[in-house]
């Protein structure tokens, strides 16, 4: 109930993502303290934790995080046997950045802030530029899934 009460505040948005509930307060920065208090209260339930991100707080199962999701994805085709590259700009991405490194891949922190990532790019625009350059070096054309082939 406290989560729904806080979510009713102007500018606060409640998002339900499977077992994860997020309170977004970007449009209502003044509601941050109320959102954090409600999330911390909800996270007192056994097996739940709260996690603060950029203008959001989540309440989720303790074992639900992006690192676990990345490790699972890397067991599935077409990812199995490949090297993960994880870009993240929020504290909620840190588990996946660490998982990528553990799996022999790399983590890239986007923007400012503390991170365990070995690499850093300043902005989403820099990520897009890096990806375009990496794709071009591998012969991948925009809008295709593989190396370019000459037009016949």
Residue 96 sits in which domain range?
A: 66-137
Domain containing 48 — which CATH number?
Answer: 3.30.70.1020
pLDDT per residue over 80-113, tens digit each? Answer: 999 999 999 998 899 999 999 999 999 999 999 9
Number of domains in the chain: 2
* pTM summary value: 0.74
Q: Hey, what are 60's tokens?
A: 């989720």
Same domain, 54 and 71: no
Q: Which of residues 34, 61, 88 is at a domain's end?
A: 61
Same domain, 88 and 26: no
pLDDT per residue over 19-51, tens digit each? Answer: 999 999 999 999 999 999 999 999 999 999 999
Asked if residue 23 belongs to a domain, the reply is yes
Look up tokens 């295709």; give the residue: 144
Q: Tell me the C-alpha to C-alpha distance, in Å, between residue 39 and each of 20, 45, 66, 68, 138.
A: 11, 11, 19, 22, 45
Asked if residue 150 belongs to a domain, the reply is no
Contacts of 121 (CB under 8 A, 6+ apart): 87, 108, 109, 110, 127, 130
Same domain, 132 and 70: yes
């Amino acid at each position: 109930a406290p989560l729904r009460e806080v979510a009713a505040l102007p500018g606060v948005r409640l998002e339900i993502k499977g077992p994860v509930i997020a309170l977004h307060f970007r449009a209502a920065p003044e509601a941050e303290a109320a959102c954090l208090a409600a999330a911390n209260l909800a996270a007192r339930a056994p097996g739940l934790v709260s996690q603060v991100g950029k203008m959001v707080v989540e309440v989720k199962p303790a074992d639900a995080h992006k690192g676990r999701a990345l490790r699972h994805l890397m067991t599935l085709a077409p990812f199995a046997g490949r090297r993960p590259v994880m870009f993240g700009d929020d504290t909620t991405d840190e588990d996946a950045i660490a998982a990528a490194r553990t799996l022999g891949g790399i983590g890239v922190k986007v923007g400012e802030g503390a991170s365990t990532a070995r690499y850093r790019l300043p902005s989403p625009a820099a990520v897009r530029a890096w990806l375009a350059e990496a794709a071009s070096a591998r012969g991948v054309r925009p809008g295709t899934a593989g190396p370019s082939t000459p037009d016949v």
